[in-house]
Amino acid sequence: MSDPRPTSFEAFWPLYLREHARPLTRRVHAVGTWLALAVLVLVAVLGAWWWLPLVLLVGYGFAWASHMLVERNRPATFQHPLWSLRGDLRMAWLMATGRLGAELRRAGLE
C-alpha cells in the first residue's frame, strides 16, 4: 500500500482494489476466501477446533501466493490486517454477486 496511510476502511478500500488490479489475483483471492470460510464452517460443525489454523493457512496461502506470483506486490495484510481481511471478504462477496465491476471503476480500474 502506498502513502498516505488511510485512516478509515472507506479510504483503504480503493487502495486495496488497486493492489488487486489483475483479475487472476482477485479470482485466486476469492477462491481462498471461500475455501477458508468453508473450512471454518466445517471446523465449527465438527467441533474440531485444533484445525482452526487451517482456516488461516488456506485463506492467506491463496492470497499471498497470488500477490507473489500474479500481482507481484506486497499484500496489504502486513500494514492493515483487519482492513485487509474486511477487503478480502467484501471483494469475494462483490464478485459472487456480480457487483465488483462498479467498485473497480470507482477505484480507477477496468
Interval 59-108: pLDDT, tens: 999 999 999 999 999 988 889 999 999 999 999 999 999 999 999 999 99
Domains of the chain, by residue range, sit at: 20-100
Interval 19-52: pLDDT, tens: 999 999 999 999 999 999 999 999 999 999 999 9
CA–CA separation, 26 and 47 (whole Å): 31
Cα–Cα distances in angstroms (integers) from residue 72 to residues 20, 53, 64, 75, in the given order: 10, 26, 10, 9
- Identify residue 85 by its one-letter amino acid code: L
What's the pLDDT at 77? 86
